[in-house]
Structure 1
Amino acid sequence: MIVKHWDELTPVEVYVLARLRTEVFLREQGCTEEELDWRDLEATTEHYLLPAEEDAAPGETAGHPALAAYLRVLTDPDAEGDGLVIGRVVTDPAHRGKGLASRLLAAVIERHGDEPLLLHAQVYAAGLYAKAGFAPVGEEFDEAGIPHITMVRPA
C-alpha cells in the first residue's frame, strides 16, 4: 500500500491512477461528470494506491505497472463535522471480490479513525462501507448519473 500527496507521486503512479479511474468511472460506469477535477492536486489530498503486484500470485504480474485499487481522501471544510471526505474508491475489474476496497478503507481508518469521515457511496456498494462503520445519512441522490447515498463514520 502506498499513501502519498500529489507532489510525492511519481509520473508512473499518476499515470496508473488516472488510467484506472478513467477505465472504471468513465468507460465502465459511464460517469457523466469530469473525472479529473483538480482536487487531486490539493496539498492535503491523500492518495491511497494498492499496486497490482501486491494482489497478484507469484509470477502473475508482467509488463506495465498497474493498480489493483485506489482511493483518495480530501480535506473538505464543507463536509459534516468539518472533516475528511473519502472518494474515487475504485478496484480494477481483474482484482474485484478480494476485499481490496476494504483494505484501503482500513488504512484510512487506521490513519484518521479519530476524525469524522464522510463519503458518497454508490448505492450498490453501501454495504461495503457499512461494514467499515459508515452509516447512511439523508436520501439517495444522483451523482454523475449513478445513484449515491451520503455515509458518515463518526470519530
Structure 2
Amino acid sequence: MRVGVAGPADWPEVVALRTRVFVEEQGVPPEIEQDEHDATAVHAVARDDGGRVVATGRLLVGDGRALVGRMAVDAAVRGRGHGAAVLAELHRQAVRLGLPEVELHAQVGARGFYERAGYIAVGEEYEEAGIVHVTMRRRLDDDTPR
C-alpha cells in the first residue's frame, strides 16, 4: 500500500471512487457529492499494489479549523487498513499546518472506525445527505482525544 497527498493527476480516480462509494452504494445525490471545497482541500489517497486508488479522504482548513471529510474506501479492500492510512495522512497534513484538532461528520456506521482512531463524539446524531451522522473530534497536539 502507498499513501500520500493526491495531485491533479489523481483526481479522476478520486472522483470515480467517491462516486462508487457515495453515489452508487449509499445513494448520495451526485450533485452534492462534489463541491466547491474540493478545489482547496488537501486530498489523500491510498493505492493498492497495482497502483489503483482504493481509499481517499480530504482535509478542509479554514479559520484555524480542520475538517476531515469524504472518506471513501473501495468495497473490495475495506477492513485492510487503507482507510486508516488515509486518515493518518490527513492527520499528518493537519499537524504540518499547525492545527491542534480535527473534526469530522461520521456516518454512524463508521463511528467505531473513528473511535479506534482516537475520535470522540460531540453532540447528537443528525441527518446529512439522507444518512445519519455524528460530529466527532480528535486532538492532534497530544495523544488525548477531546
Q: TM-score range by the shorter chain?
A: 0.7 to 0.9
Separation of aligned partners in 2, 1:125 and 1:23: 17
1:48-88, Cα deviation, whole Å (9 max, x unpaired): 011232xxxxxxx4xxx6311000000133xxxx4100000
Unaligned regions of 5+ residues in structure 1, if any? 54-60
Q: Determine the structure 1 residue equivalent to 2:119.
A: 134
What letter is aligned with 1:46?
V
Matches of 1:36 and 1:106, distance apart in 2: 23
d(CA) in 1 for partners of 2:138, 2:94: 11
Q: TM-score, normalising length from structure 2?
A: 0.84
Query: Does structure 1 retain, via aligned residues, the 8 Å contact 2:37–2:60?
Result: yes
In structure 2, C-alpha distance between the alignment counterparts of 1:152 and 1:146, rounded to whole Å: 19
Tell me the alpha carbon deviations over residues 6-36 of structure 1, each in whole angstroms, 9 at most, x when there is no partner: xx421xx111000000011001000136111
User: Match for 1:110: what amino acid?
Assistant: R
**Match in the other structure for 1:34:** 32
Superposition deviation, residue 107 in structure 1: 2.0
Partners of 2:42 and 2:60 within 8 A in 1: yes
Cα distance in structure 2, aligned partners of 1:76 and 1:123: 25
The total of aligned residue pairs comes to: 134
Question: 20, 25, 29: which one pairs with 1:23?
Answer: 20
Identity %: 36
Superposition pairs of residues 6-155 of structure 1, within 5 angstroms: 8-10=7-9, 13-32=10-29, 34-42=32-40, 45-53=41-49, 61=50, 66-77=52-63, 82-113=64-95, 115-155=100-140
Mapped contact 2:58–2:90 kept (Cα < 8 A): no
Larger Rg: 1
Q: Structure 1-normalised TM-score? A: 0.79
Runs of 4+ in 1 over 6 A off after TM superposition: none
- Give the alignment's Cα RMSD to 1 decimal: 1.7
